[in-house]
A = this chain, B = another copy of it.
Amino acid sequence: MEVGFLGLGIMGKAMAMNLLKHGFKVTVWNRTLSKCDELVEHGASVGETPAAVVKKCKYTIAMLSDPAAALSVVFDKDGVLEEVCAGKGYVDMSTVDAETSIKISEAIQSKGGHFLEAPVSGSKKPAEDGQLVILAAGEKALFEQAVPAFNVMGKKSFFLGPVGNGAKMKLVVNMIMGCMMNAFSEGLELASRSGLDPHTLLDVLDLGAIANPMFKLKGPTMINSNYAPAFPLKHQQKDMRLALALGDENALSMPIAAASNEAFKKARSLGLGDLDFSAVFEAVKLLKH
């Protein structure tokens, strides 16, 4: 089957490559067209514009860098909207806010097209290994149509209901993650100041009921004050803020999330916003004798 793919950044390129390797016919487009070359070598066709890709394919997947890019490929000249129509599907796998997602959804549907938001959990390595977790929401029929592609790009895909639920699920997960990073930072520093070796704490944690990949991965780099950004702190803090806003809409008191949000803000105030979110550890450690 002919699948369209818009956006060949780090994530998109790895995802499209997996589709090709598993026998999908893929027509790709990227703002900088030269980025299509490697995929063409593996058998991809190239569309000149998003509209051209949509015209050719039953459904089209998009993986753009941010809400502005996600809106641009849909609404700009030669964009998705010009060719989407009854019977065609559009699957936006970019991470965008609910508002952007709903705006795109309404535009696609106003043309008779079908829409699915499908943000992913996982970064470069899982994308290359086809091990993403896909959080889809929108039209169920399009989800079922896309499942073969999802099975190739990810280890598991979920259908979560109406548009917006994919974004909400990501917020909930990232909120818990941000709280855990703060608790972990407090624990590492409490160990150090109490005369315990933080490396030993990592070993003990890894053998117990709260062992998890994040502690195992981030612990050693945090102890070495290495905060090369995999997930920038300012983005983590933005997700905490949005999760708290979601709680506020539902009158849900979330004191641990709120305290964690303030800790991330303190880290931003200390100039750490562009580092990895684990850099909140630096704000916890602050000490002057």
Q: Could you tell me which A residues sit within 8 Å of B by CB distance?
A: 121-122, 133, 135, 155-156, 158, 160-162, 165, 168-169, 172-173, 175-177, 179-180, 182-184, 186-187, 189-191, 193-197, 200-201, 203-205, 207-214, 217, 241, 243, 246-248, 250-263, 265-266, 268-271, 273, 284, 286-289
Contacts and interface: CB of A to CB of B under 8 A. Distances in A.
A184 B176 contact: yes
Going nearest first, the 8 A-B pairs with the smallest beta carbon separation are A179-B183, A253-B266, A193-B250, A212-B212, A251-B268, A271-B288, A259-B259, A258-B258
A196 B121 CA distance: 17
A196 B160 contact: yes
Contacts of A177: 209-210
Contacts of A214: 209-210
Given A158-B203, A194-B246, A270-B286, A253 B263 contact: yes
A195 B252 CA distance: 13
A214 to B, nearest CB: 4
B204 A169 contact: yes
A183 B180 contact: yes
Given A158-B203, A288-B269, A289-B271, A182 B179 contact: yes
Given A179-B182, A210-B214, A254 B247 contact: no
A190 to B, nearest CB: 5
A251 B263 contact: no
B271 A253 contact: no
A52 to B, nearest CB: 35
A203 B172 CA distance: 13
Nearest to A271: B288
A121 B194 CA distance: 19
Given A256-B263, A262-B253, A179 B179 contact: yes
A182 B253 CA distance: 12
A160 B190 CA distance: 15
A196 B165 contact: yes
**Chain B CB within 10 A, most for which of A161, A173, A175, A214:** A173
A48 B254 CA distance: 50
A195 B262 contact: no
Determine which residue in A160, A182, A186, A187 has the highest number of CB atoms from chain B within 10 A of its CB, and name it.
A186
17 contacts: A121-B204, A135-B204, A155-B207, A156-B203, A172-B201, A173-B204, A175-B187, A176-B205, A179-B183, A183-B260, A186-B255, A210-B214, A248-B265, A251-B269, A252-B265, A254-B265, A255-B262
